[in-house]
């Protein structure tokens, strides 16, 4: 079993993540994690906090001499902003912001100050997830599996050019600050963010995560919690502010005819390998990977903290009050996309380990080679009748 747990508050000294279950022998350096940490910070629409933090993961356990040992991996990320909070007398926060955990956490935990809830609910925690996800990506890369993402929409600006060249779309998207593959649409998205910011408002949007060269056979149909589709929906849906997740073209498919949706099975030009004409299923059928790219989209609500303010109630006086603004992102869809990648990488790394077993990369490699693929001659079928009996 692969698992991770994070700890840390947004303005506390540091974030910690422990990733347990990684096999031994995986090359791992802090720089491997730094790239994704930096990607998660870079985006149009980011607030002032992102100019303060320079995220870097310190590896304090589980890797020695640049290789994982099989022991729990501990990663620590400093919160530089802690320095400006540690000596401060902070006035109590008593007006809950709609869209945040503020009110619910206070009701549930009996907090005397709304800050206590927001400190842990803040998406600062996602830096720790991205660090763990980067390690999972290293494992997947050792088996040539690639996980990436790009932005499909911000507010009402939607990417029109969508095709199956996900890796290429990803590369183009990385060249701009909204992580959109099409330069013209990216420009419109940036303008949309600037407009919302100038009006004291915020935006959400949709990001696409994908995984390429995932072998068929990860996940299972035999039990609800082993279905890879369900596990991916849960993982990507756990990203703060993500309120909808779909696999493949799920919502569009729901309004179409079956014969227009399901990915027909063909024998490819080699005559030996089974393939699909399309990938509307997003690479999973019956909770098991098909070998086609895995596609998961996350829909993020607009950022809850708005400069304009929203109506609420001051819990100290019981009177109506406007929310108080300190600072915030205006749009975080490009940043959330990187968190989505991390969550997807975690689920796939876990599923790969379940499939292959083994305590070291060396043990996993030959088993990976031997994975059942869609090769016709490896499918064991015969025409003898089968007795459907239980006694």
Interface residue list for ligand EPS (CB under 6 A) = 10, 47, 49, 53, 122-124, 126-127, 240, 327-329
The item of ligand FMN, ligand EPS, none sharing an interface with residue 307, based on CB under 5 to 8 Å by kind, is none
301 is in an annotated binding site: yes
Q: Is the CB of 179 or the CB of 335 nearer to ligand FMN?
A: 335
24 is in an annotated binding site: no
The item of ligand EPS, ligand FMN, none sharing an interface with residue 101, based on CB under 5 to 8 Å by kind, is ligand FMN
Q: Is the CB of 127 or the CB of 140 nearer to ligand EPS?
A: 127
Cα 303 to the center of its chain, rounded Å: 17
Kindly give the residue spans of alpha helices, DSSP state H, lying in the chain: 30-41, 49-52, 82-85, 102-109, 115-121, 126-141, 166-173, 183-198, 228-237, 250-253, 258-261, 333-356, 361-369
Q: Annotate 8-45 with DSSP letters as a single string.
A: --TTSSEEEEEEE-PPBT-B--HHHHHHHHHHHH--TT
Q: Is the CB of 187 or the CB of 201 nearer to ligand EPS?
A: 201
CB 310 to ligand EPS: min, Å: 14
Cβ 91 vs Cβ 105: under 8 Å: no
Q: Is the CB of 113 or the CB of 141 nearer to ligand FMN?
A: 113
The item of ligand FMN, ligand EPS, none sharing an interface with residue 339, based on CB under 5 to 8 Å by kind, is ligand FMN
| Three-state secondary structure of 60-127 | EECEECCEECCCCEEEEEECCCHHHHCCCCCCCCCCCCCCCCHHHHHHHHCCCCCHHHHHHHCHHHHH
CB 238 to ligand EPS: min, Å: 14
Q: Is the CB of 149 or the CB of 290 nearer to ligand FMN?
A: 149
Nearest-CB residue for ligand EPS? 49
CB 52 to ligand EPS: min, Å: 8
Contact residues for ligand FMN, defined by CB under 6 A: 47, 99-101, 121-123, 126, 239-241, 301, 303-305, 328-329, 332, 335-336, 339
327 is in an annotated binding site: yes
Q: Is the CB of 47 or the CB of 309 nearer to ligand EPS?
A: 47
137 is in an annotated binding site: no
Checking 278-286 for CB contacts under 8 A at 24+ apart, the result is: 279/164, 279/248, 280/248, 280/249, 280/253, 281/247, 281/248, 282/246, 282/247, 282/248, 282/249, 282/250, 283/211, 283/214, 283/247, 283/248, 284/219, 284/228, 284/229, 284/232, 284/247, 284/248, 286/221, 286/227
CB 31 to ligand FMN: min, Å: 22
304 is in an annotated binding site: yes
The item of ligand FMN, ligand EPS, none sharing an interface with residue 127, based on CB under 5 to 8 Å by kind, is ligand EPS
367 is in an annotated binding site: no
For the record, the structure tokens of 89 come out as 């007398």
**Which of 87, 85, 88, 91 is CA-nearest to residue 114?**
91
CB 126 to ligand EPS: min, Å: 6
CB 53 to ligand EPS: min, Å: 6
46 is in an annotated binding site: no
How many CA atoms does the CB half-sphere of 319 hold within 13 Å? 2
CB 236 to ligand FMN: min, Å: 11
Separation of alpha carbons 126 and 129, rounded Å: 5
Q: Is the CB of 106 or the CB of 139 nearer to ligand FMN?
A: 106
Name the binding residues for NADP(+): 40
| Residues flagged as binding site | 40, 120-122, 286, 301-305, 327
């Amino acid at each position: 079993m692969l698992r991770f747990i994070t700890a840390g508050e947004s303005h506390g000294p540091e974030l910690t993540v422990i990733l347990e279950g990684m096999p031994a022998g995986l090359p791992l350096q802090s720089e491997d994690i730094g790239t994704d940490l930096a990607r998660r910070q870079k985006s149009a629409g980011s607030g002032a906090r992102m100019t303060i933090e320079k995220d870097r993961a310190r590896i304090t356990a589980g890797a020695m001499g640049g290789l994982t040992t099989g022991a729990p991996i501990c990663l620590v990320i400093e919160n530089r902003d802690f320095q400006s909070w540690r000596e401060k007398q902070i006035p109590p926060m008593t007006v809950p912001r709609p869209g945040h955990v503020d009110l619910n956490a206070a009701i549930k935990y009996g907090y005397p100050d709304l800050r206590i809830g927001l400190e842990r609910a803040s998406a600062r925690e996602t830096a720790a997830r991205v660090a763990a996800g980067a390690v999972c990506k290293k494992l997947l890369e050792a088996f040539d599996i690639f996980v990436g993402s790009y932005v499909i929409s911000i507010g009402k600006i939607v990417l029109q050019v969508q095709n199956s060249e996900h890796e290429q779309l990803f590369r183009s998207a990385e060249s701009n600050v909204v992580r959109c593959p099409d330069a013209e649409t990216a420009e419109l998205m940036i303008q949309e963010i600037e407009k919302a910011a100038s009006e004291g408002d915020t935006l959400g949007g949709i990001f696409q995560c994908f995984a390429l060269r995932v072998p068929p056979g990860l996940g299972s149909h035999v039990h609800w919690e082993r279905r890879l589709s369900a596990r991916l929906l849960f993982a990507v849906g756990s990203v703060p502010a993500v309120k909808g997740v779909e696999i493949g073209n799920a919502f569009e498919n729901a309004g179409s005819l079956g014969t227009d949706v399901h990915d027909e099975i063909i024998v490819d030009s080699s005559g030996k390998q089974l393939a699909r004409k399309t990938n509307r299923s997003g690479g999973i059928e019956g909770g098991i990977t098909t070998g086609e790219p895995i596609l998961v989209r996350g829909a993020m609500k607009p950022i809850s903290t708005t400069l304009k303010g929203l109506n609420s109630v001051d819990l100290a006086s019981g009177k109506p009050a406007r929310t108080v603004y300190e600072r915030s992102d205006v749009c975080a869809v490009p940043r959330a996309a990187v968190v989505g990648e991390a969550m997807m990488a975690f689920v796939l790394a876990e599923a790969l380990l379940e499939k292959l077993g083994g305590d070291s990369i060396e043990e996993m490699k030959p088993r990976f080679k031997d994975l059942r693929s869609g090769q016709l001659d490896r499918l064991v079928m015969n025409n003898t009748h089968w007795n459907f009996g239980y006694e």
